[in-house]
Amino acid sequence: MILKTDDSFHHNHGDPHWNESAWLPFMVPEKGLSGWIYFFHRTTLGYTIGGVAAWDSSGEDMWNCRHYDWGIPYPTPAGADMYDFTLPNSLTVETIEPMESYRFYYDAGGCQLEMRWDATMPAHDTGYPDHSHEWGSAHYEQCGKMTGTLVLDGERFEVGHGVRAKSR
């Protein structure tokens, strides 16, 4: 059973590679535009990586997509929790209601976003495929709707769609 407390950090028993991650895709289907907000925390080591990517048919790799800002480790902010933190690259994640609603803000490198994700169904424990326990101890996904705006180099988009995946 997945509980609201599963949206917070879990005790990691000292494993230096303990990882808690979240992936939230978004789309603008009529423009052929996709993207994601992705972040993970390694609380034992004290760092967080998080950022935003967006792409369309003009480029889909990190070096040629519309926007890519992910991979720099930052010190995990004091007082952070899984879905409550702000990173130096401006990614801000806020819980409105655990397992129900979240807000996301970002403004860097010609990309701004202000989005909200709302659940449309309860979270579902998907587990891991056989022989892949090194990925983590638990994984769940949840259907929902991402709404809000994305601005790329001055071009404004209304986003929609989305799911949410969390692993630990």
For residues 72-77, give the mean pLDDT: 97
Place of tokens 């998080």: 50
For residues 14-27, give the mean pLDDT: 86
Confidence of residue 2 (pLDDT cuts 50, 70, 90): confident
Top mean pLDDT of 3-17, 84-98, 121-135 is at: 84-98
- Residue 44 is encoded by which pair of tokens? 């034992």
Got the DSSP string for the chain? ---GGGGS----TT-TT--EEEEEEEEEGGGTEEEEEEEEEETTTTEEEEEEEEEBTTB-STTTSSEEE----EEPPTT-BTTBEE-TTS-EEEEEETTTEEEEEEEETTEEEEEEEEESS--EE----TT-GGG-S-EEEEEEEEEEEEEETTEEEEEB--EEEEE-
**pLDDT higher than 90, residue 7:** no
**pLDDT higher than 60, residue 12:** yes
- The pLDDT assigned to 128 comes to 54
What is d(CA 76, CA 23) in angstroms, rounded to the nearest whole number? 18
Residue range 95-145, pLDDT digits in tens: 999 999 999 999 999 999 999 999 998 887 766 555 545 555 566 788 899
Confidence of residue 82 (pLDDT cuts 50, 70, 90): very high
- Residue 151: partners with Cβ closer than 8 Å, 6 or more residues away: 111, 112, 113, 157
- Of 24, 29, 22, give the one whose Cα is nearest residue 8: 22
Please tell me the pTM assigned to this model.
0.89
- Residue 21 is encoded by which pair of tokens? 């991650």
Per-residue CA distances from 114 to 33, 34, 37, 127 (Å): 16, 15, 11, 31
